[in-house]
Structure 1
Amino acid sequence: MPVTQRPLHLAVALDGPLQHPDAAAHFVRLGQLAERGTLDFVTLGDSFTGPGLDALAVLARIAPATDRIGLVPTVTTTHTEPFHVSTAVSTLDWVSRGRAGWAVGVSTTDAEAALFGRRDAAPPADVWREAGEVADVAARLWDSWEDDAEIRDRASGRFVDRDKLHYVDFTGSTFSVRGPSIVPRPPQGRPVTVIDATGDGDGGPAAEEAAAAYADVALVRAEDPQAAGAARTALRERARALGRNPDRLIVLASLPVELYSSGDAVGLADLLGDWHADGAADGFHLRPADPARDLAHLVDGTVPVLQHRCLLRRFYPGATLREHLGLPRPANRYALAREAS
């Protein structure tokens, strides 16, 4: 039975052919265009060996040129120190005033492993289990400063209340982190964690487990609404089994799109509306074939149709990415434990 109609979430990938002499300006224009369409967030892929700019640096450049759009770069956890991952994403949240997320990425190739020379490439199941541990410790590091840990008392010379800084003392399968972070707790408490539950096609059960355990937003690649709906149900059930509130896990169907005309854009609105009415997903992460062309059709064609049908907001009611997604700001686990004791 179709679910009750409710506003859907909409995000878009900025990846695509790039032939612009000024890449930074190109991405700024795309980010501003996505914001005009009141999309929840944009994503930008990354890898150690692929061409292009560092995704996190690009979105940090977009941050001061936008006001509301969420910014979600891919951050590869394999071969990268979890402490550095946490610090970089936290910094993006500060730069964007609470609009940051991160898409958890992994590396499985010998070529990328050779760049670091510390260990051999590992199977997808192993690196996705490690990625889940990185997501876990990143959240702990973001909590390692309580919200009011900063004192900034010039008279006494005290910058921070040391009693409100906490060691995370985390030991994973391939790393250990003591903490605390070197960056104060981010504006959102914890930036939004996005995980592709299909592991970009090769993650298997380990990617699904990481998404169910640690994601705020899970992406599902499916060819029909039935498959997407089944994946959403499975992820929510697994999240519940892990002790999470499944309503705190947003599942987006990640779909490739190619728009050549306004007719295509209206047809896409019909498809998204039908999938959403069937309960296939909480919204959509669209992957345009050519963002420079397709994003304009999406914003000027698909978005107005969805807004007219009351399926997409006409303005941003909040300022942070968590507010766009309807996710609460998480309580600090260490502050809760201290208060309880």
Structure 2
Amino acid sequence: MSATRPLHLAAEIGGPPRYDAAWYVELAQLAERGALDFVTLQDSFARPGLDALAVLSRVAPATERVGLVPTVTTTHTEPFHVSAAVATLDWVSRGRAGWLVDVSATPAEARLFGRRPAASAAALWQEAREVAEVSARLWDSWEDDAEIREVATGRFVDRDKLHHVDFEGATFTVRGPSIVPRPPQGHPVTVVAATDGHSRETAARHADVVLVRAGRAEEAGALREKLRSRAAEHGRDPDTLRVLAALTVDLGDGERPLEPGLDSAPRTTAGAGGAHYRGGPVDLAELIAGWHGAGAVDGFHLTPAEPWRDLERLVNGTVALLQHRSRFRTFHPGGTLREHLGLGRPANRYAPAAGTS
């Protein structure tokens, strides 16, 4: 990968649970001022707090460019509703939505719903792959011009341009079509944190963006190549896959002497929870530029240790320095998240190909 390939940056805006929408709006607006590709908002059934997808639907009208990617748990949820909710976020954000696919693995979370016991990781991620597949089909179940809105005849939709998906998975079936018209992006961006073999398989099959945990640039580069190779085996163009290194950043101490860790300067440390950087904005910019320039990753997904403090220092320090060095853009290149990521709008699988009747 050439160092001239665009660098992609994203940030998490979660943290301890907050019940004030203005908090998330301000963080997303800060990320937008830095021209970040997207923000994520973590969520799970194991922690208290507001629903991430609903929160980012509130953030959408208060922002204009930054992508919005909530965690969406595919376990214990209805795939039809998941698809409709993500499509709705894409509509209210005018094409800036994604979803970070996750699963729910614990017996305690299963008891919250009372439908079925906890399943194995293999079964959960198989179900997640099926949810991703049926969601894409549901997004395609309306052709782009299915809405006709004929006032004279009272016809809202051309029924010939609605399609049943008729999907049968291991744990659910969906007929369709969706109740939501095809999203502005065609398919909202699918993000997967590839932390083990099961999630990596889901990422290779369905993700547009993959988050990987790596302690060194060489390790990240090896994971990237494996994901690209696996995607190609599934008939995908590996150049449509964006691989971002997931890194927790603590910018509270400023620049500091190097610590034993991952790479030559600047350094980070790695543990069971993933890779962590502790230091100043300048050294972080060096790390980002070094890994990206070496072709190890397409960018970084950064989780601030202290949401406001570290995101502010990230945007006004690290990102500003990368922009000054012409390593990162100073404005969003388009209006949709797919355009930020350099990804095309998928063709509708059910619509006739151009030039055919």
TM range, normalised to the smaller chain? Answer: over 0.9
Give the Å deviation of 1:81: 0.5
User: In the alignment, which residue of structure 2 is the partner of 1:79?
Assistant: 76
Q: Residue deviations 1:28-69, cap 9 Å, x none?
A: 100000000000000001112302110001111110100000
Q: CA deviation at 1:279?
A: 1.1
1:69 to 41, 52, 66: 66
Residue 206 of structure 2 is matched in structure 1 by: 214
Counterpart of 2:201, as a letter, is E
Match of 2:259 in 1: none
Residue 233 (structure 2) pairs with residue 234 (structure 1): no
Instruction: Choose from 328, 333, 337 the match for 2:349.
Output: 333
| 1:79-122 deviation per Cα after TM superposition (whole angstroms, max 9, x unaligned) | 10100000000000000000000000100011111111111001
Match of 1:250, as an amino acid?
R
**SS of alignment partner, residue 69 of structure 2:** strand
Relative to the length of structure 2, the TM-score reads 0.91
Hey, what's the Cα distance between the residues in 2 that align with 1:272 and 1:336? 43
For residues 181-237 of structure 1, the C-alpha deviation after alignment (integer angstroms, 9 at most, x for no partner) is 000000101100001111xxxxx3221110000001011011111111000000000
Aligned residue for 2:287, secondary structure, equals helix
Taking the aligned partners of 1:323 and 1:315, their CA distance within structure 2 comes to 12
8 Å contact from structure 2 (residues 281, 317) kept in 1: yes
Shift of 1:131: 0.4
Q: What is residue 302 of structure 2 aligned with on the other side? A: 286
Give the SS at the match of 2:145: coil
CA-CA distance at 1:336 after TM superposition: 3.5
Distance in structure 2 (CA, Å) of the matches to 1:122 and 1:311: 44
SS of match in other structure, 1:193? strand
Structure 1 stretches of 5 or more lacking a match? 199-203
Q: Is the 8 A contact 2:146 2:157 kept in 1?
A: yes
Match of 1:315 among 327, 331, 343: 331
Question: Any conservation in 2 of the 1:197–1:220 contact (CA below 8 Å)?
Answer: yes
Q: Give the superposition deviation at 1:304.
A: 1.0
For residues 44-55 of structure 1, the aligned pairs below 5 Å read 44-55=41-52
Match for residue 301 of structure 1?
A: 317
State the 1:338 CA deviation.
9.5
Unpaired runs of at least 5, structure 2: 256-279
- Paired amino acid for 2:248: P
Aligned position for 2:272: none
TM-score, normalised via structure 1 length: 0.95
How many corresponding residue pairs?
Answer: 333
CA contact (8 A) 2:3 2:292 kept: no
Q: State how 1:68-107 maps to structure 2 within 5 Å.
A: 68-107=65-104
Where 1:333 maps in the other structure, the secondary structure is: coil
Supply the distance in 2 between the matched residues of 1:65 and 1:125 (Cα, whole angstroms): 39
Of the three residues 165, 170, 188, the one matched with 1:168 is 165
What's the counterpart of residue 14 of structure 1? 13
Question: 2:254, 2:284 → 1: CA distance?
Answer: 10
Structure-1 residue corresponding to 2:54? 57
Q: CA deviation at 1:17?
A: 2.8
Partner Cα separation in structure 2 for residue 14 and residue 80 of structure 1: 24
Structure 1 stretches of at least 4 aligned residues deviating more than 3 Å after TM superposition:
2-5, 336-341
* Aligned AA (2:15): G
Aligned CA-pair RMSD: 1.4
Task: Determine the C-alpha separation between the residues in 1 that align with 2:298 and 2:150.
Answer: 45
Q: What is the correspondence of 1:104-183 to structure 2 with a 5 Å cutoff? A: 104-183=101-180
Amino acid across the alignment from 2:97: A
Whole-Å separation in 2 of the counterparts to 1:291 and 1:213: 32
Per-residue deviation, 1:280: 1.1
Contact 1:90 1:185 in 2 (8 A): yes
The alignment-based identity, stated in percent, is 67
Quick one: which amino acid aligns to residue 193 of structure 1? T
Separation in 1, partners of 2:3, 2:27: 33
Structure with higher helix content: 1
User: What letter is aligned with 1:191?
Assistant: P
Counterpart AA for 2:232: R
Give the Cα–Cα distance (whole angstroms) in 2 for the partners of residues 8 and 189 of structure 1.
Answer: 24
How far 1:5 sits from its partner (Å)?
3.2
Q: Which amino acid aligns with 1:333?
A: R
1:213 & 1:106 partners in 2: Cα distance? Answer: 16
How far apart, CA to CA, are the structure 1 residues paired with 2:38 and 2:156? Answer: 34
Letter in 2 for 1:36: R
Distance 2:246 2:122 in 1: 21
**Structure 1 contact 262–297 (Cα < 8 Å) conserved:** no
| One-letter amino acid matched to 2:138 | L
Farther off after superposition, 235-244 or 328-337: 328-337
Cα distance in 2 for partners of 1:222, 1:247 equals 21
